[in-house]
Structure 1
Amino acid sequence: MSTSQSKVLKDINVLISNIQMKITGKIDIFTATVKAMNENGLMPIYGTPFLGTTIKLMKTSRIVKTINAIKGTQLKLMLTFENKQEVLFKPKWYLESDTIEGSVYAGKDRYNGEIIAFYISLILGLPRVPITVKRILDSTEIKETASLGLKKTMYINSTTNETCLYGKCYYCKKEDPVCTKSGRLEGAAMLYLPSNLKPRAQLHPWRRTYKENKLARWEKDNNYCKDVLAKYGFERVLDFVEICVFDFIIGNGDRHRYEVVEQLNNTILLIDNGKSFGNPFKDHLDILAPLYQCCIIRLKLWERLKSIKGGSFTHILQKMLDIHESVSLLTLPQYHALERRLRIVYATVTMCQKTFNETVFK
């Protein structure tokens, strides 16, 4: 193992320690977590000592207000804690074992995908996913804290006596509500970024057309990368390659936009990962188009990828999940898919190496 790979594993061990750490006292943990954000993203690559406590607080803090977050195509709630910290909540629509058939962007968002994407971003050294945890709301909590607008979309199912809500969004409708199960509503709670760090959305150059009979240029032109390099520059294209590796591993083919934060050195954040982990038996190779069309990758990411081979990837992920969550957020086929996709990334980089030699690594 190389010196750089040993350092990667050391950084990952620090991360695991940070996730385990519990800080007590009068310190404002959420403010401290925000202050830790830097040019690498939403935390240092090796983590922050506030991480474990922040995760715990996001899972347990008392909610004083729940409103409908109306932006976007799917139901989302905005939860406000008693210290005024806000988190975005995406409800659970599917069982973890459900397989989503169809296109790479089929189905509703997967709450577990949002949570797992956060942990995988840390493992890959791309800490650009907002801290995301599993949060369970009970029906009484929802009713007592819901805004008037949200209450108008809530009702009691006469058959099950469960609380249901359908909210307001592009695809929201009364006929398709999410309902509590045994009085509980599970979902993913994501740390909402402070107003001074609002991301600015840009169209992704490798976005899909979302039209069944119409291909995007990148889907039919293998020389497409030359024009992207000319327009965006070398460093930004390397960013796109990092994003595609992350998205391919989690199975997210719905990255039609990307968000940058000027105050964090124009870092691209990895926001909205709900279309991941839909089908563990299918690999959408075209997600890797930026990698195999441009044949470049940052050396630090490559060293990171090599450090987690041979089953280490899922072992590290399960070790992290076991602290605050549960390894059962993913099924065994999904864990197998992670390792398989990692090997496909290795093979793609090896193919590029044979074609362009060491110029692949930057």
Structure 2
Amino acid sequence: MLKMILFRKFRVFILMVFLVACTMHIMVDLLPKLEKRAAGADGGADGGCRCARGPDEGLQGWGKPRAAAAAAEAAAAGWPNKHTLRILQDFSNEPGSNLTSQSLEKIAAAAAAAAAAAAGGADGAESRKRAREPAAGGAEERKPLMGDSGRGRHAAAPGGVSRLSALFEHPLYRAERPPLTDEDTLFNVNTDIRFYPRATGNQDWHNEGNEEEEYPPTGEVTAESYPNWLRFHIGISRYELYSRHSAVLDALLKDLVSQRITSVAMKSGGTQLKLIMTFQNYGQALFKPMNSPPEFSQPIPMYAQINRVRANWAAIRTNNICFYGECSYYCSTEHALCGKPDQIEGSLAAFLPDLALAKRKTWRNPWRRSYHKRKKAEWEVDPDYCDEVKQTPPYDRGTRLLDIMDMTIFDFLMGNMDRHHYETFEKFGNDTFIIHLDNGRGFGKHSHDELSILVPLSQCCRVRKSTFLRLQLLAKEEYQLSSLMEESLLRDRLTPVLIQPHLQAMDRRLRLVLQVLNGCMEKEGYASVVEDDVAGDQVTHRSPRHR
């Protein structure tokens, strides 16, 4: 009997503790709102606004009508739930903000606003009055876009001499590819490709830069007149995704910047929000919004990182339009993407041909990480792991193992630990190049060289001769990898894309790659390490001898 009484009392006690905990959680959630409401009652008619009034208070409410209109437009379009982007406003003053109440950025911003308000006086009131007035003639002035200043787009290379042009004139970068047959091209233009824009009733894709250009008298559309994204697809071959000297790539990059966007949809899957943008010429690109500033250094280990574009800014300004989508991890109010105030920075990546036209095969990287805090992958505990890989198709023949070594060097130079898969085009079988699409975790921590990325190279001790010679060339002062990379990015509208510490890290890592290769040669000999794929002025594509 006594045990039963004690048991009942214990259950009541547990229930009371649970109720008290729930009550405390509710009070914690309600407290900020009650404080704001009390502050609103003390502040008069405008006190109920949850936005911090600043010098531009006349513009404070402009984002809400636009957000409502965007939401109504999305509803009218009939998007399913997975394609719905939640339009959010003013996360900077909410408990879920990326900036806490102890944030130095928030304190500095508040101090700056207070100083401006104190010093403004009558001038500040006059400026606010002017801000509320419409532009002359009633026409709204066009807001400049990010990068409209053109900074760096026409800048000359350091010293007035283009190291990049000099590099591409070097014999190592002038090697000719073998003649292409129908089996070596991804598409046969005459039989596989048909693109008739007249049937769509939209001519915008045509005459992209020349309004006076006419259709041929025969009415046929030539491949040269196709939109640049399609010309890029047509140019894919067994040996390369695109030619180093192709003018189509420059034109395609220009299209990504200048083409009018006709529709936007959210891409399903992935850890972070990605948008599919369709342009007026029917091309498409994958948009990844910025999530960290260029000087931000990513934490280690890798599974704690988020993908970088270039630049997860918090919603510091109360006017900013913010939104988030649906994905595996970083899609919530705490990881909202915010404009400045209504423009957002990000990267655009052109799409490969549709899988219905050109099937691709996905391969698991033999040196894939475990993505676990305590569990190690087999290659991390077995120093002879490469011997097993060499006996496994498709690495037991052809150039696939050498392709993996090239990819390993590429990833190490930019500090990318996230190379879990790669792809190939099915049409070309195993005798073709490999496609490594996702580089989003590169250039994360410039002060750290993750040597585990180089394990495939140190375990296998194999490299192409053309790769080895190019690495040696890029280590020379007259070329220098960091300078070449900096120059190649000058034309970008958001230059500088990489800050100097990241560029300098590439030079440092290049020296480490050469050290690993030199160590392999001392241990196994030059002939056993370096696969000769250079014959005269031509890079060969024959199968390497099996070792």
* TM-score w.r.t. length of structure 1: 0.79
Larger Rg: 2
> Could you tell me how far apart the structure 2 residues matched to 1:158 and 1:98 are?
17
Q: Counterpart of 1:286?
A: 452
1:218-277 per-position Cα deviation (integer Å, ceiling 9, x unaligned) = 001110001100003242211111111000001000111112222355431111100011
**Could you say what secondary structure the match of 2:434 adopts?**
strand
Task: Work out whether residues 179 and 185 of structure 1, in 8 Å CA contact, stay in contact via their aligned partners in 2.
Answer: yes
Residue correspondences, number: 304
Matched, 1:259 2:423: yes
Match of 1:182 in 2: 341
Map of 1:36-47 to 2, 5 A cutoff? Answer: 36-44=235-243, 46-47=244-245
Residues 11-40 of structure 1 deviation map (CA, whole Å, 9 limit, x = unaligned): 7xxxxxxxxxxx954632222122121123
Moved more, 239-248 or 321-330: 321-330
Q: Which residue of 2 aligns with 1:91?
A: 289
Secondary structure, in 3 states, of the residue corresponding to 1:322?
A: coil
Are 2:325 and 1:162 aligned? Answer: no
Change (3 A) 1:38 1:112: farther
Judged with a 3 Å threshold, the aligned counterparts in structure 2 of structure 1 residues 97 and 77 are, in CA distance, closer, same or farther, namely same
1:107 aligned residue (286, 301, 305): 305
Structure 2: gaps (5+ residues): 1-167, 176-207, 214-224, 532-547
Contact 2:276 2:284 in 1 (8 A): yes
Equivalent-residue separation in structure 2 for 1:182 and 1:159 (angstroms): 8
Q: 1:355 aligns with which of 506, 516, 523?
A: 523
Match of residue 64, structure 1, among 247, 262, 269: 262
Give the SS at the match of 1:324.
coil
Provide the residue aligned with 1:239 in structure 2. 403
The one-letter code sitting in structure 1 at the alignment partner of 2:348 is A
Aligned to 1:269, which of 419, 435, 443? 435
Equivalent in 286, 298, 310 of residue 464 of structure 2: 298
CA offset digits 1:156-177 (Å, max 9, x no partner):
x897232222111111224321
In the TM superposition, 1:126-137 aligns within 5 A as none
Instruction: Quote the Cα distance in structure 1 between the aligned partners of 2:493 and 2:238.
Output: 28
Q: Secondary structure at the match of 2:334?
A: coil
Contact kept in structure 1, 2:259 and 2:280, CA below 8 Å: yes
Structure with more strand by fraction: 1
- Separation of aligned partners in 1, 2:484 and 2:332: 40
Shift of 1:361: 0.7
Q: What residue is the counterpart of 1:318 in the other structure?
A: 486
| Equivalent residue, structure 1, for 2:383 | 222
CA apart distance, 1:325: 4.3
Amino acid aligned to 2:324: Y
Q: Which piece of structure 1 moves more, 341-350 or 164-173?
A: 164-173
- Cα deviations across residues 186-218 of structure 1 (Å, max 9, x unaligned)? 111000112123532221110111111111110
Percent of paired sites with the same residue: 31
Q: Distance in 1 between matches of 2:323 and 2:245?
A: 37
1:297/1:361 contact within 8 Å kept:
yes
Report the 3-state secondary structure (helix = DSSP H, G, I; strand = E; otherwise coil) of the residue aligned with 1:301. Answer: helix
3-state DSSP class of the match of 1:80? strand
Contact 1:33 1:48 in 2 (8 A): no
Quick check: 2:323–2:338 contact (8 Å CA) kept in 1? Answer: yes
Look up the SS of the partner of 1:213 in the other structure: coil
Letter in 2 for 1:108: I
Letter in 2 for 1:93: N
Aligned with 2:417: secondary structure?
coil
CA contact (8 A) 2:239 2:432 kept: no
Aligned partner letter, 1:160: T
How far 1:5 moved relative to its partner? 9.5
Relative contact order: is structure 1 or structure 2 higher (C-alpha 8 Å, sep ≥ 6)? 1
Determine whether 1:211 maps to 2:372.
Answer: yes
Give the whole-Å Cα distance in 1 for the aligned partners of 2:514 and 2:411.
15
- 1:279 to partner: Cα distance: 0.2
The answer to whether 1:333 aligns with 2:501 is: yes
Q: Equivalents in 1 of 2:257, 2:246: separation in Å?
A: 18
Q: Secondary structure at the match of 1:323?
A: coil
Q: TM-score, normalised by structure 2?
A: 0.53
